[in-house]
Amino acid sequence: MTEGARLPVRRPRVVLLAEQRLVGDAVRTALNDRRLQVVSLAWPDGHRPSASARRMLAGLHPNAGVVFGDLQDPRHREHARMLVSTVPLRWVLVVSHHDDASWGDLVAVGATLLPSSISLEDLSESLIRLMTGAELMSQETRDQMVREWLRQRSLDEEVAGRLERLTPREAQVLEQLSLGLSVRDIALRDEVAEATVRTQVKSVLKKLEVRSQLAAVAILRRTAAGD
């Protein structure tokens, strides 16, 4: 090598994890054409996702990581949280409604969120900015999302605690109400007096600290949606 010659600068390396293979292939091809060296990895093992990812990343020395997947799914969300919190890398998660406080748990462990509507050109530029030290989310935005997530989690835990007060029979009545059954329907189905069902419904409302059957059903559905 002649004096003064420079070694070629390696293109920034990005690891890509995509739940759907076709999506991963399309994104990898597009980003490779935009000044990035993209290495696709298999979606982490379901039992030990962070350990699986660390094994896959060994020797790659990436500059950043990007995840595409259905992170609304609680299992996939937990995989992503473990990945971000245990694998030391600047992680970008491409998600729907990226500014929603419900993603605060992922922001809390260091993830950077980008909207699923982002173009591949903008994603490429964002990754390059991130790898050169830029922050794609302000600290104020991060703090606000985490605070709101913690507040919502506290409320959800309180509501879950109210549901745990119900007896098995009261829980069954609430489930039947959520299916659209009336007090009379429940009484006929379970072969009990309507007055008995009304008493059980009143107990459900009291324990859940609500005034209507609609509000009680809303609590049940909200808790089920968060599972």
One domain, residues 195 and 112 = no
* Same-domain pairing of 169 and 203: yes
Structure tokens at 171: 């829980």
Classify residue 145 by its DSSP letter. H
Residues 118 and 48 in one domain: yes
Answer yes or no: are the C-beta atoms of 55 and 29 closer than 8 Å.
Answer: no
Helix axes 120-131, 21-32, angle to 10 degrees: 70
174 and 90 within one domain: no
Together in a domain, 109 and 193: no
Give the structural domain span for 110: 13-146
Please identify, among 79, 113, 146, the residue that sits at the C-terminal boundary of a domain.
146
Domain end, chosen from 111, 146, 181, is at 146
- Contact of 51 with 36, CB cutoff 8 Å: no
**Is 123 within the bounds of a domain?**
yes
Q: pLDDT band for position 16 (50/70/90)?
A: very high
Residue 45 or residue 180, greater confidence = 180
Flag whether 156 is in a domain: no
Contacts of 147 (CB under 8 A, 6+ apart): 104
Q: What is the pTM of this model?
A: 0.73
Out of 146, 176, 197, a domain closes at: 146
Give residue-wise pLDDT tens across range 107-126. 999 999 999 999 999 999 99
CATH number of the domain that 181 lies in? 1.10.10.10
pLDDT of residue 118: 92
Residue 142 counted as domain residue: yes
- Which CATH number does the domain housing residue 47 bear? 3.40.50.2300
Give the mean model confidence (pLDDT) for residues 8-18: 79
Q: What is the mean pLDDT of the chain?
A: 87
What percent of the chain lies above the pLDDT cut of 70?
Answer: 91
Does residue 116 share a domain with residue 77? yes
Residues 181 and 133 in one domain: no
- 182 in the same domain as 142: no
120 and 201 fall within a common domain: no
CA 197, distance to chain mean position in Å, is: 38
Structure tokens at 190: 């379970």
pLDDT, tens digit (0-9, with 9 covering 90-100), for 172-197 = 999 999 999 999 999 999 999 999 99
- In Å, how far are 42, 91, 95 from 79, measured between CA atoms? 13, 13, 14
Instruction: Please tell me whether residues 171 and 141 are part of one structural domain.
Output: no
| Cα–Cα distance list, 165 to 196, 204, 221 (Å) | 19, 9, 17
The predicted structure's pLDDT at residue 225: 65
